[in-house]
């Protein structure tokens, strides 16, 4: 997904936000930038755009915590939530919260 914002001069993470961009607290460099929630377009395995609240179906059997008996192919996940990170889909299956990569689901 997207990388955390860092100063282009000294590469320090988490700069201060200003009205029109960012300012580095370490070196004082100011630059323009768009404030983002960290979410890019999240698309399923078929290329359909996903949104928070959508229902998805798992298309590949997934292991949970390296144990057998994870999530079976064809399992429906209702009311997903999109989150920033490597696994952008947050959902619940059998009362257990899991994070899933978008390439392993299709829109229901």
pLDDT in tens, 7-46: 888 888 888 888 778 888 888 888 887 655 566 789 999 9
CA distance 38 to 60: 26
* pTM, two decimal places: 0.64
Looking at domain 56-107, what is its CATH homologous superfamily? SH3 Domains (2.30.30.40)
CA distance 79 to 82: 10
pLDDT in tens, 79-96: 999 988 888 999 998 888
In the chain, beta strands by DSSP E: 16-17, 21-23, 30-32, 56-58, 62-64, 67-71, 76-77, 81-82, 89-93, 96-100, 105-107
């Amino acid at each position: 997904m997207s990388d955390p914002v860092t100063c282009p001069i000294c590469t320090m993470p988490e700069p201060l936000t200003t009205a029109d961009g960012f300012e580095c607290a370490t070196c004082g460099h100011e630059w323009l930038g768009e404030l983002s929630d960290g979410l890019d377009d999240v698309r399923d395995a078929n290329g359909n755009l996903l949104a928070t609240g959508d229902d998805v179906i798992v298309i590949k059997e997934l292991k949970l915590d390296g144990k057998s008996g994870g999530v079976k192919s064809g399992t429906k996940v209702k009311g997903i939530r999109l989150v920033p990170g490597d696994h952008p889909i947050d959902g619940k299956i059998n009362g257990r919260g899991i994070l899933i990569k978008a390439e392993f689901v299709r829109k229901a």
